[in-house]
């Protein structure tokens, strides 16, 4: 019996040693960039220490433009996250004013400022590809807020809206209209990459149905412009059974137009904006809201820092928030904050009250 037990022990130790020898080494711990932002399935990682630089760091962000409250809050989230880290000695913000040529010039100028990492919100997906290649040859990591065309030299991509934004709204309208009817498409800023992806996502949801697009106009992601184009459409008498929007500030304005004209509300799509939540609740309109998180600003800074620390990041991340419906609307709506607030936020409550508290 003793010999049998000894032989069993030897076999067990041998098997354990074999498994230890051939068990693949654990990869580096997965970096979390923020709630609801997850790696895209099947993408590779950057190499360990590929972009490692010793702090302090100078990090820059190239903005596409300003003009709507989402961008304003996203930039606040970005600057707040950068301010929390003593390793960042300077955080530089440049604004392309929705001009692709200016954005290229801005990025060229940043190369002369010896920055350590650059965050890019592209005006169009192809306009910055050549300068991104140039940046990459200097060993500077580029974090892109959106997919670029004509280059694969960006270190990582935060692809948080795109077609899924439009598809969520499109599928909602298909369900509400039972697959038939006429919809209006109120789009964002013409020529901007994200806007085009959202539109294509919505159109893909309509394929195979009897839904027709009765009107298509650009509202520039603006409350005032969105309200004006909606008023023009209502006054035109064009038939409409549902409305798809590329941004919620336009939805808010359009609901108000329908109410002012005493026109029965039709199903409308929205976004994660407090002002939209307010009119949604008050009007009872049938709606859905895609979460396009302003916390991507926080994630951008985290991504840049992790790359500079030499950590491995996935080459692309996507948004994985479930949409907001009438069932969970109260979870997100903040009646104590004004219409310009977007969810979710990484800003401290004191800062939120300072920026968005009702006066």
Q: Which residues does 77 contact at the CB level (< 8 Å), separation at least 6?
A: 294, 295, 296, 297, 298, 345, 346, 347
Average pLDDT over residues 217-231: 95
pLDDT at position 323 over 90: yes
- Decide if 93 contacts 60 (C-beta within 8 A): yes
8-state DSSP, 145? S
The SS3 call for residue 358 is: coil
Q: Where are the domains of the chain?
A: 37-160+294-321, 162-290
Spatial CA neighbour of 215 closest among 189, 240, 246, 251: 240
Cα distance between residue 71 and residue 96, in whole Å: 13
Which element (helix H / strand E) includes 305? helix 296-308
Instruction: Report the SS3 class of residue 35.
Output: coil
- The dotted CATH code for 162-290 is 3.40.50.2300
- Mean pLDDT on 23-49: 78
3 confidence band (pLDDT: 50, 70, 90): very low
Tell me: the pLDDT tens digits for 253-295? 999 999 999 999 999 999 999 999 999 999 999 999 999 999 9
Contact 133, 153 (CB under 8 A): yes
* Strand arrangement, sheet containing 242-245: 210-218, 180-187, 242-245, 268-271, 287-290
Can you tell me the distance from the alpha carbon of 18 to that of 241, in angstroms, rounded to the nearest whole number?
67
Predicted pLDDT of residue 29: 65
Q: What would the two tokens of residue 108 be?
A: 């060229």
pLDDT at 5 over 60: no
CATH fold of 37-160+294-321? Rossmann fold (3.40.50)
- 162-290 shares the fold of 37-160+294-321: yes
Q: What pTM does this model have?
A: 0.85
What pLDDT digit, counting tens, does each position of 112-154 carry? 999 999 999 998 888 999 999 999 999 999 999 888 888 999 9
Residue 6 confidence class, pLDDT cut points 50, 70, 90: very low
- For the cut 90, the answer to whether the pLDDT of residue 320 exceeds it is no
How does DSSP assign 225-254, residue by residue? HHHHHHHHHHHHT---SEEEESSHHHHHHH
> How many Å apart are CA 240 and CA 172, to the nearest integer?
15
88-110 pLDDT per residue, tens: 999 999 999 999 999 999 999 99
- Name the least confident of 43-47, 114-118, 122-126, 196-200: 122-126
- Asked if the model's pLDDT at residue 68 lies above 50, the reply is yes
9 pLDDT above the threshold of 80: no
Could you tell me whether strands 88-95 and 242-245 are parallel, antiparallel, or unpaired per DSSP bridges?
A: unpaired
For residue 226, count other CB atoms closer than 10 A to its CB: 29
């Amino acid at each position: 019996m003793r010999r049998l037990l000894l032989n069993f022990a030897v076999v067990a130790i041998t098997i354990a040693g074999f498994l230890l020898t051939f068990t693949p080494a654990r990869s580096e711990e997965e970096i979390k960039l923020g709630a609801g932002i997850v790696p895209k399935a099947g993408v590779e990682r950057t190499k360990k220490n590929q972009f490692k630089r010793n702090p302090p760091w100078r990090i820059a962000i190239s903005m596409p433009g300003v003009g709507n409250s989402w961008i304003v809050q996203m930039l606040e989230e970005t600057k707040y996250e950068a301010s929390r880290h003593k390793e960042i000695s300077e955080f530089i913000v440049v604004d392309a004013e929705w001009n692709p040529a200016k954005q290229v010039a801005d990025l060229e100028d940043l190369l002369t400022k010896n920055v350590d990492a650059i965050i890019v919100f592209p005006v169009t997906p192809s306009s910055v590809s050549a300068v991104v290649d140039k940046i990459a040859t200097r060993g500077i990591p580029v974090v892109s807020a959106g997919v670029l065309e004509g280059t694969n030299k960006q270190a990582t991509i935060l692809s948080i809206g795109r077609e899924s934004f439009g598809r969520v709204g499109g599928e909602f309208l298909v369900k509400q209209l039972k697959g038939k009817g006429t919809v209006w498409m109120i789009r964002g800023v013409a020529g901007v990459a994200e806007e085009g992806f959202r539109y294509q996502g919505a159109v893909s949801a309509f394929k195979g149905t009897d839904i027709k697009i009765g009107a298509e106009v650009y509202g520039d992601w603006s409350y005032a412009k969105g309200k004006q184009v909606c008023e023009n459409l209502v006054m035109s008498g064009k038939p409409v059974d549902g409305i798809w929007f590329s941004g919620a500030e336009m939805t808010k304005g359009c609901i108000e137009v329908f109410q002012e004209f005493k026109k029965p509300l039709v199903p409308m799509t929205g976004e994660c904006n407090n002002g939209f939540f307010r009119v949604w609740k008050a009007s009872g309109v049938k709606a859905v809201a895609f979460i396009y998180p302003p916390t991507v600003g926080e994630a951008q800074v985290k991504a840049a820092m992790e790359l500079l620390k030499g950590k491995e990041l996935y080459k692309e991340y996507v948004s994985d928030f479930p949409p907001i419906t009438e069932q969970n609307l109260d979870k997100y709506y903040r009646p104590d904050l004004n219409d310009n607030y977007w969810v979710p936020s990484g800003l401290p409550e004191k800062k939120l009250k300072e920026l968005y508290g009702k006066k």
